[in-house]
Structure 1
Amino acid sequence: MFVGFDLQELVSAFIVLFAVIDIIGSIPIIINLKQRGKGVNAMKATVISFLLLLGFFYAGDMMLKLFHVDIASFAVAGAFVIFLMSLEMLLDVEIFKNQGPIKEATLVPLVFPLLAGAGAFTTLLSLRAEYASFNIILALILNMVWVYFVVKMTDRVERFLGKGGIYIIRKFFGIILLAISVRLFTANITLLMEALNK
């Protein structure tokens, strides 16, 4: 059918990327951003995320070496952004002021670090060593289609849950995000320290 196509590889790659991108877990963040009047463009977020991930899939190693940045540093940077987002959700404060000319949150924090973050970048590089590129790209496309529909449907989810439900979910996911940021930071700061000691 297609050169290198393997259904098992496609399903495996899809499941791994699905877990890492975790758009369902990002729903409270997207709703939170919209409630604060920050626009989230579903199509733009999906397309930019896909292009970033695709670009990184083919040129990730080269890009990082060009800027003398390793994946661990990327992960630590992502951990800081996620940490600040969790504080916003838990403490009801606004850290991402976004005072620039574009009053939307599509690029930061939705595209980076939520959709196209260090975790997704690292996963793509890992998958490339195991599976055929065709299957990984197809799995990525399927994930991006799912991402688009979820981001597009957040308004309906918000109406279904109501203000009280959203508030409770936001606090809960604030704690989850805080835990994720700590795990991401501690796992990668160790690698950075080891690299510096060499």
Structure 2
Amino acid sequence: MFQLFSVKETLTATMVLFAVIDILGSIPIIVSLRKKFGHIESEKASIVAGVLMIAFLFIGDNILKLIGIDKYSFAIAGAVVIFIIALEMILGIEINKASESNSASIIPIAFPLIAGAGTLTTTLSLRAEYHDINIICAILLNTLFVYLVLKSATWIEKKMGQGSLQVLQKVFGIILLAIAIKLFTANFAMLFAQYIHF
């Protein structure tokens, strides 16, 4: 498994997940949740989110087989979800409404803020292009970064300011849009080729 490790694949997968998770763009939400609920357990939230992503990376494929969906179709669906998330980030609109919660560390921080539908779908979509070891490394790197951001969310917000965070969110939105288009075209070509062979 370790012979399949690639720095390039790991970095690309890390950037994809980083853009989808958008933890920097979520800082205002984290700050408001901290004010509302008090202490947020950064370690617990990060570990639960990381475990969810890694578990879905492996179990998700079996779930797809069980319901008779191939990985290319799922990757295309994932690309559409990523596309919608990117539009939300660029245009500043909210398509997926966040639900209210009475707790903070696990719900809504770990799920769905970090390991939400978009992140889990992306994790499985990446499997169509990258080796598992590189995706796992990308998940671990993002989990570490999420932990650091959760620990210092208030400080980051004060230092960067709301305007800078919004600009950063739009930049990552554009990157995410390009990733969604690449994922869609690559997997659509594979799906088309699969049906041609039939």
Work out whether the TM-score is over 0.5.
Answer: yes
Quote the sequence identity (%): 28
**Cα 1:172/1:41, change in 2 over 3 Å:** farther
Deviation of 1:162 (Å): 0.7
C-alpha contact 1:73 1:192 (8 A) present in aligned 2: yes
Q: Is the counterpart of residue 20 in structure 1 residue 13 in structure 2? A: yes
- The alpha-carbon deviation at position 174 of structure 1 amounts to 1.6
Deviation at 1:37, TM superposition (A): 6.7
Asked if the contact 2:53–2:123 (Cα under 8 Å) also holds between the matched residues in 1, the reply is no
| 1:49 is aligned to 2:45 | no
Task: Write the distance in 1 (CA, Å) between the matches of 2:162 and 2:18.
Answer: 18
Query: After superposition, where does 1:149-160 map in structure 2 within 5 Å?
Result: 149-152=147-150, 153-160=152-159
Q: TM-score, normalised by structure 1?
A: 0.66
Asked if the contact 1:32–1:170 (Cα under 8 Å) also holds between the matched residues in 2, the reply is no
Q: Identify the match of residue 119 of structure 2 among 114, 117, 120.
A: 114
Aligned-pair Cα RMSD in Å: 4.0
Residue in 2 aligned with 1:185? 184
Q: Distance in 2 between matches of 1:78 and 1:92?
A: 21
State how many pairs are aligned. Answer: 182
More displaced 10-residue stretch of structure 1: 175-184 or 97-106: 97-106
Name the CA distance, whole Å, in 2 between partners of 1:97 and 1:68. Answer: 29
Q: Are the structure 2 counterparts of residues 174 and 33 from structure 1 closer, same or farther at C-alpha, using a change threshold of 3 Å?
A: farther
The whole-number CA distance in structure 2 between the counterparts of 1:81 and 1:36 is 26
> Normalization by structure 2: what TM-score?
0.66
Gaps of 5+ in 2: none
Structure 1 residue 188: Cα displacement: 1.2
**Is the 2:83–2:177 Cα contact (8 Å) retained in structure 1?**
yes
In the alignment, residue 155 of structure 2 is paired with which amino acid? R
- From the superposition, tell whether residues 123 and 107 of structure 1 become closer, same or farther in structure 2 (CA, over 3 Å): farther
